[in-house]
Chains A and B, each alone.
Chain A
Amino acid sequence: NAGVTQTPKFQVLKTGQSMTLQCAQDMNHNSMYWYRQDPGMGLRLIYYSASEGTTDKGEVPNGYNVSRLNKREFSLRLESAAPSQTSVYFCASSDPGTGGREQYFGPGTRLTVT
């Protein structure tokens, strides 16, 4: 099993450009999450999807949109990138239904907006 995969690993954008971060998991998990990690801030939840077909805002959703394409895939879109969105983005998944609340993380995408 690959676990949680993310593409791309690195990306540089100019202010105003758009892009989509891709995430896929092969653990048959129902819930998926997008976080951003900034120095000294820990991880902050952007959006999450409790199950296929549902998405909800987290702590810092402004400037982002998400799509839960199917059970495996959950994408994060930046419509008009801003320098404040320079960060490391992590996707995670979990399966609370089986009793495991822990989330499993992808390797991250390092995004720089100039």
Chain B
Amino acid sequence: AQKVTQAQTEISVVEKEDVTLDCVYETRDTTYYLFWYKQPPSGELVFLIRRNSFDEQNEISGRYSWNFQKSTSSFNFTITASQVVDSAVYFCALSEAYSGAGSYQLTFGKGTKLSVIP
């Protein structure tokens, strides 16, 4: 069975600090996909990034970067120079390659609440 663990329930940082959100996953599949979503206080869920298991290259998008390491089954998310607008709950999710029913179910972690203090 798939499992996603976000051990950090809540993190507080002061604005402009860097912060890393941890995500550890378990799967028996050799092909899978990993995702990060952001849920700001307004409540909507915003897709941030998808990674497949064949691509271990780290990715950077502005102040956001993602570190995917298959050897440790981790897909960590770093925000550089955090801003108040980064305050949100962040979810890591895992999708197996194929659910057998023509769809790809996501297994979510329980989320990490990030508070950026001005």
Contacts and interface: CB of A to CB of B under 8 A. Distances in A.
Give chain B's interface secondary structure class: loop
A108 B43 contact: yes
Contacts, number: 66
Contacts of A58: 105
Interface residues on B, range: 20 to 34
Interface stretch (A11-19, A36-44, A75-83): A36-44
Contacts of A51: 102-103
A101 B102 contact: no
A107 B43 contact: yes
Interface residues on A, range: 20 to 34
Interface string B35-57: 10100000111010010000000
A32 B102 CA distance: 11
Given A48-B101, A100-B50, A108-B43, 9 more contacts: A31-B104, A40-B9, A42-B111, A50-B102, A54-B101, A90-B45, A101-B33, A101-B106, A103-B47
Interface of A: 30-31, 33, 40-45, 48-51, 54, 56, 58, 88, 90, 92, 94, 96, 100-105, 107-108
27 contacts: A30-B102, A30-B103, A31-B102, A31-B104, A33-B103, A33-B105, A40-B110, A41-B110, A42-B108, A43-B45, A43-B106, A43-B108, A45-B106, A50-B99, A54-B101, A88-B43, A92-B45, A96-B102, A96-B103, A96-B104, A101-B106, A102-B47, A103-B106, A105-B47, A107-B43, A107-B44, A108-B43
